[in-house]
Amino acid sequence: MVTLTPDSVAEYARAAGDSNPIHFDSTFALSTRYRRMIASGTQTTALLLGLTAAHFSKDASMVGLEYSVKFRRPVFADETIRLEWLVIKVTPNTRLAGHIVELRGRIRGEDGRTAVGAKGRVLVTDRL
């Protein structure tokens, strides 16, 4: 679980170079269809991808090979979200001296609905 705050969302957007005011201007956000600030897609994606590194790097080396994301609904700047990954398939790869792990992931909002869907492939090995 990750709890976002308007300040952390605004700080991330500025650091990422995302100048869309919906990420840092609450007055502007009120005039949009969402009626409040939302997190940048780069922020939600980074949180989700970071979870794979945090998990697989505990006991092995890991490098991301491929990710794709689909934004289904906004993630609000004052929301607690749930990050999830499911291992779909593990394939040994002799040439890379490790395993290719195929993943499906998502970010669920406080209402339980999927806000971001994702697919990924990572290499898990004893050495990079």
Cβ distance 51 to 60 under 8 Å?
Answer: no
3-class secondary structure for 14-36?
HHHCCCCHHHCCHHHHHCCCCCC
What CATH class is the domain 2-125?
Answer: alpha beta
Residue 92 half-sphere exposure, CB side, CA atoms within 13 Å?
1
Gap between the Cα atoms of 107 and 89, Å rounded:
20
pLDDT confidence of residue 128: 63
- Tens digits of pLDDT across the chain (128 residues): 999 999 999 999 999 999 999 999 999 999 999 999 999 999 999 999 999 999 998 888 999 999 999 999 999 999 999 999 999 999 999 999 999 999 999 999 999 999 999 999 999 998 76
Domain boundaries, the chain: 2-125
pLDDT at residue 75, rounded to an integer = 97
CA distance 115 to 106: 7
Tell me how far apart the alpha carbons of residues 83 and 101 are, in angstroms, rounded to a whole number: 18
- Under a CB-based contact definition with an 8 Å cutoff, are residues 65 and 123 in contact? yes
What's the CA gap between 1 and 22, in Å, rounded?
Answer: 23
Angstrom distances, CA of residue 108 to CA of 88, 93, 113 = 19, 32, 5
